[in-house]
């Protein structure tokens, strides 16, 4: 994989993660520091889970093509 492909994948991940993060911060209350910290923790867990699921799905599709 070259740099252009890597940047393309990175752009798609940014787009995929941006929408749920904006919705989460708009939906959950941000009255104090603890609420903001909770939102950040939820976003991190969501991002890790989505990245892992994406990699598993892409790897399984690539294995089926072979």
User: What tens-digit pLDDT sequence spans the chain (66 residues)?
Assistant: 666 766 676 677 777 777 777 777 777 766 788 877 887 888 788 878 887 888 888 888 888 887
Distances in Å between the Cα of 13 and the Cα atoms of 24, 26, 30, 41, 56 are 17, 20, 25, 18, 15
The structure's pTM equals: 0.58
Q: Give the pLDDT score at 34.
A: 83
Q: How far apart are CA 47 and CA 16, in angstroms?
A: 9
What pLDDT shows up at residue 58?
Answer: 80
């Amino acid at each position: 994989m070259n740099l252009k492909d890597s940047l393309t994948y990175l752009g798609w991940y940014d787009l995929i993660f941006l929408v749920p993060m904006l919705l989460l911060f708009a939906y959950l209350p941000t009255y104090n520091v603890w609420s903001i910290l909770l939102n950040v923790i939820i976003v991190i867990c969501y991002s890790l889970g989505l990245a892992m699921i994406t990699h598993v799905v892409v790897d399984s599709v690539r294995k089926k093509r072979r």
